[in-house]
């Protein structure tokens, strides 16, 4: 199946590793050009080297108010036309609702909500019909995840904001959507399992809770994301797509 990605340009944030990098790989493999960004210069350089031709990088922290304009300017210089954006922000710190301090909530609002919105607002004037904006969210959009109070509180809000954006931008032919990854075998998941003291037992517990009885692989997420960002998904907008092995109990 030809996704129609040849020659198209995409900006991906938080994409030096994990789900963002897997998506960048899938896009480049199908002929797209990508600008990947993250907070670490060394991580960005490593990602660009791994992706090869068609990839360039930029260092940016979405929590920085100046990051949005920097990324948009760089994307237009490197890519020419920006046909799509995939916004992925790091997972907020774990904790319960009552035990999470207020300053942690405030910091997460800036990184999880305001940072992505600043980037979208800066980029939208430069988008044309056929462009797409995607948000990497979490299954916490639909059901709470234990000990992740901030994610449970903020990601549903960003999902509803994406839905509202799809209404606002739909008449211009611009699509907006979200992805809800479940447990995917990224470095972050490995770190969480290691912190449990018994990584093998932690992985086994997780797999028992997944209908497919295994965690997902980054490339499985990347392929879904690349499809949704491509012209092949031209009638998909205003929706949240789960890539979770069946974990969500909602239809």
pLDDT in tens, 156-204: 999 999 999 999 999 999 999 999 999 999 988 888 888 789 999 999 9
Banded pLDDT at 80 (limits 50, 70, 90): very high
Answer whether residue 24 is part of any domain: yes
What does the DSSP assignment read for the chain?
---S-TT-EEEESS-SSHHHHHHHHHHHHTT-EEEEEES-HHHHHHHHHHH-TTEEEEE--TTSTTHHHHHHHHHHHHHSS--EEEEE-PPPPPB-TTTS-HHHHHHHIIIIIIHHHHHHHHHGGG--TT-EEEEE--GGGTS--TTBHHHHHHHHHHHHHHHHHHHHHGGGT-EEEEEEE-SB--HHHHHHHHHTS-HHHHHHHHHHTSTTSSPBPHHHHHHHHHHHHSGGGTT--S-EEEESTT-----
Q: Check whether 66 has a pLDDT greater than 80.
A: yes
Task: Tell me if 212 is assigned to some domain.
Answer: no
| Structural domain harbouring 88 | 9-189+220-243
What's residue 119's pLDDT? Answer: 98
* 183 touches 138 (CB < 8 A): no
Residue 62 belongs to domain with CATH number: 3.40.50.720
Residue 191: per-residue pLDDT: 82
Q: Whole-prediction pTM value?
A: 0.96
pLDDT of residue 149: 95
Output the pLDDT for position 196. Answer: 84
In a domain, 194, yes or no: no
In a domain, 213, yes or no: no
Whether residue 209 lies inside any domain: the answer is no
Q: Is residue 205 part of a domain?
A: no
What is the number of structural domains in the chain?
A: 1
Q: Once rounded to an integer, what is the mean pLDDT over residues 85-114?
A: 91
pLDDT of residue 150 exceeding 80, the answer is yes
Query: What integer pLDDT is reported at residue 8 of this predicted model?
Result: 98
Q: What is the pLDDT of residues 119-144, one digit of tens each?
A: 999 999 999 999 999 999 999 999 99
Rounded average pLDDT over 67-78: 97
pLDDT at 91 over 90: no
In a domain, 206, yes or no: no
Q: What are the pLDDT digits (tens) for 210-232?
A: 999 999 999 999 999 999 999 99
Residue 75 lies in a domain: yes
Q: At 90, is the pLDDT very low, low, confident or very high (cuts 50, 70, 90)?
A: confident
- pLDDT tens, position by position, 1-57: 899 999 999 999 999 999 999 999 999 999 999 999 999 999 999 999 999 999 999
pLDDT of residue 141: 96
């Amino acid at each position: 199946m030809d996704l129609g990605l040849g020659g198209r340009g995409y900006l991906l944030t938080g994409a030096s590793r994990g789900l963002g990098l897997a998506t960048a790989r899938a896009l480049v493999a199908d002929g797209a050009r990508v600008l990947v960004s993250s907070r670490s210069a060394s991580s960005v350089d490593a990602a660009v080297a791994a992706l090869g031709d068609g990839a360039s990088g930029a260092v940016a922290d979405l929590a920085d108010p100046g990051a949005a304009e920097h990324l948009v300017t760089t994307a237009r210089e490197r890519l020419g036309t920006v046909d799509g954006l995939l916004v992925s922000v790091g997972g907020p710190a774990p904790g319960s609702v009552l035990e999470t301090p207020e300053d942690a909530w405030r910091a997460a609002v800036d990184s999880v909500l305001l940072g992505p919105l600043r980037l979208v607002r800066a980029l939208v004037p430069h988008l044309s019909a056929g462009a797409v904006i995607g948000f990497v969210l979490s299954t916490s959009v639909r059901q709470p995840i234990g000990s992740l109070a901030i994610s449970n509180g903020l990601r549903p809000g960003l999902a509803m904001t994406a839905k509202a954006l799809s209404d606002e931008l739909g008449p211009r032919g611009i699509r907006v959507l979200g992805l809800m990854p479940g447990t995917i075998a990224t470095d972050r998941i490995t770190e969480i399992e290691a912190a449990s003291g018994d990584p093998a037992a932690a992985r086994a517990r997780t797999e028992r809770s997944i209908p497919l009885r295994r965690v997902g692989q980054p490339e499985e997420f990347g392929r879904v994301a690349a499809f949704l960002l491509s012209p092949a998904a031209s009638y998909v907008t205003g929706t949240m797509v789960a890539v979770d092995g069946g974990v969500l109990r909602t239809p």
